[in-house]
Amino acid sequence: MIKDLKNQPFVTYIIVAINIIVFLMMTIAGGSSNTQVLLAFGAKYTPFIQQGDWWRLVTPMFIHIGLMHLVVNMVTVFYLGKIVESLFGHWRFTIVYLVSGVVGNIASFVLLPANISAGASTSIFGLFGAFMMLGESFKDNLYIRLMARQFLTFIVINLVFDIFLSGVDIYGHIGGLIGGFLIAYVVGAPKLGKNDLIKRFLSGIILCIAIALFLQIGMRGF
């Protein structure tokens, strides 16, 4: 039974369940579109983070504004997450999901300070970024190469739409994408093969420097 569980993308299922539970709690508390409820549950809001609410760099990836926002993101997490988790393994997938989400929220914290932001999109773009790393590292794998091309097309289309749609946190999406690409290099994907150690090291250094720099800029005000 334990062996069967290990072969299941249970981290993906847990993430989806947490998001749904939080959404139900927000609905009971007054509605997921209510500004006060959003802030109470941990939506990203730069002035509050500058005052010490660092946890708001983590919690937004589990909060959604409206039912459609939740449904679209959770369907994406469910299908994309299962693929990425099967390739990276459970704990590496968890790290990629959480770190890319935080990096996306940091980017939004700095570059979109006036907006209240929430959603799993930062982490979702991080998963796409992780797959881009796989596409770059394992070009000889036909499945990975074809999937990476499809995801790249999806990423480009989404970012183009983000430019023209109001209320979309494009900086969070781009930050999550880059964060996912870099952290995926750091953790690697042993199921597929070994990553270049130099690339892993450099990716970790770049990621740490970028996070430190953005946090410093964000605290001072961009």
Please return the burial class of 117, using the count of CB atoms within 10 Å of its CB with bins 0-12, 13-18 and 19+.
buried
Per DSSP, the residues of 164-195 read HSTT--HHHHHHHHHHHHHHHHHH--TTT-PP
43 in Cβ contact with 63 (< 8 Å) = yes
- Half-sphere exposure (Cβ direction) of 186: Cα atoms closer than 13 Å: 21
| 203 tagged catalytic | no
| 69 tagged catalytic | no
187 in Cβ contact with 215 (< 8 Å) = no
Q: Among 32, 121, 123, 203, which one carries the catalytic annotation?
A: 121
44, β-bridge pairs: 117
Per DSSP, the residues of 6-63 read HTS-HHHHHHHHHHHHHHHHHHHHT-TT-HHHHHHHT-B-HHHHHTT-GGGGTGGGG-
- Ramachandran assignment for 66, one of left (phi > 0), alpha (psi -120 to 50 degrees), beta (any other): left
- Half-sphere exposure (Cβ direction) of 70: Cα atoms closer than 13 Å: 21
Q: Among 64, 117, 123, 173, which one carries the catalytic annotation?
A: 173
- Catalogue the active-site residues: 121, 173
